[in-house]
Amino acid sequence: MKVSVKTPATIANLGPGFDSFGLALPLYNIISLEETVLPGSGIEVNIINEKNNDDNIIDIPTDKNNIIYKAIELLYNFIGQVPNELKITVRTQIPVSRGLGSSASVIVGGLIAANELLGRPADEKILMSIATEIEGHPDNIAPAFVGGVTMSSWEEDGSIVYRKLPWDDGWKLMVCVPDYELNTEISRSVLPKEVPMSSAVYNLKRSAMFVDALYNKDEELLKLALKDKLHQPYREKLVPGLADIMNNLKHTNGVIGTVLCGAGPSVLVIYNGIGASEIKEIVASSWNYFNVKSNFLNLPIEKEGACIL
């Protein structure tokens, strides 16, 4: 039996919602899982880059150290089994280490495929908890599962609480992707273990504004809400040109806000449909100064999450 699951890319944080807010994008990984019939064949992991770009997938483990296998192993252990001979194939459209949720996508896809292969012993709550245990936080996991814009929390008992939020289709997304990778562990390593109380309060207020702005389609409030003091200021040094991009786009007609995509280095510009050419020019010129090439993706919100093909 073979099961294939299509899972969307995601962007986490969205400014103030560190490890909490996320959204899904119509870029996909397709994860196929099958039990092989040859005894002793072990674990086989194949990764196929369908975009044919320069993403470095050579270093991704293709044995039991692969993150997909680790997630699948936890699910098998949950029902008292051990995975034996498995063939895992990943057809990827999502750039690796760019802040677009590539790891969350394959974790979620692998778990859903394994759960289907096993006869669906686990419900969404269990699968989401296992995925978050592997990923470390639910901000990418929730939208990968259910699509749309989400807020989520990893509770002390291991459960995931999430809600889908509305989104005004008049608010457009431009994902600006640089031609280099940024490892999530490196990006998290620059964050302080403690932050000033004023910074925490600042982000609490912005997070509340964000939710209210989405429910009331309030563009002016969303402009205020997309600001952050918990992670982006510390990550600026890892993303050359980020400060210039964010400062210059403040004064660009049509721009609602600019945020780092997850841990970076991609940048998300939220705008009202006006000034797309100027946005591209500002971002491209800022990165060109640092000899960074860029790719621009104008994408809608992916309203649906992972699905079995």
Write out pLDDT tens, residues 254-276. 999 999 999 999 999 999 999 99
d(CA 99, CA 176): 11
- Split at pLDDT 50, 70, 90, the class of 51 is low
Residue 54: the pLDDT is: 46
- Domain of 153, CATH number, reads 3.30.230.10
CB 52 within 8 A of CB 102: no
Residue 64: the pLDDT is: 82
3-state secondary structure 23-74: EEEEEEEEEEEEECCCCCCCEEEEEEECCCCCCCCCCCCCCCCCHHHHHHHH
25 and 139 in a single domain? The answer is yes
Domain count, the chain: 2
Does pLDDT of 55 surpass 70? no
User: What average pLDDT score do residues 48-52 get?
Assistant: 71
149 and 99 in a single domain? The answer is yes
99 and 211 in a single domain? The answer is no
135 and 238 in a single domain? The answer is no
CB 142 within 8 A of CB 150: yes
pTM of model > 0.85 = yes
Residue 39: the pLDDT is: 61
143 and 255 in a single domain? The answer is no
CB 162 within 8 A of CB 153: yes
88 and 146 in a single domain? The answer is yes
- pLDDT tens-digit readout, 72-99: 999 999 999 988 788 999 999 999 999 9
- Domain of 201, CATH number, reads 3.30.70.890
21 and 84 in a single domain? The answer is yes
239 and 137 in a single domain? The answer is no
- Percent of the chain beyond pLDDT 70? 95
153 and 208 in a single domain? The answer is no
- pLDDT tens-digit readout, 159-198: 999 999 999 999 999 999 999 999 999 999 999 999 999 9
280 and 182 in a single domain? The answer is yes
- pLDDT tens-digit readout, 192-246: 999 999 999 999 999 999 999 999 999 999 999 999 999 999 999 999 999 999 9
Q: What range does the domain containing 95 cover? A: 2-165+302-308
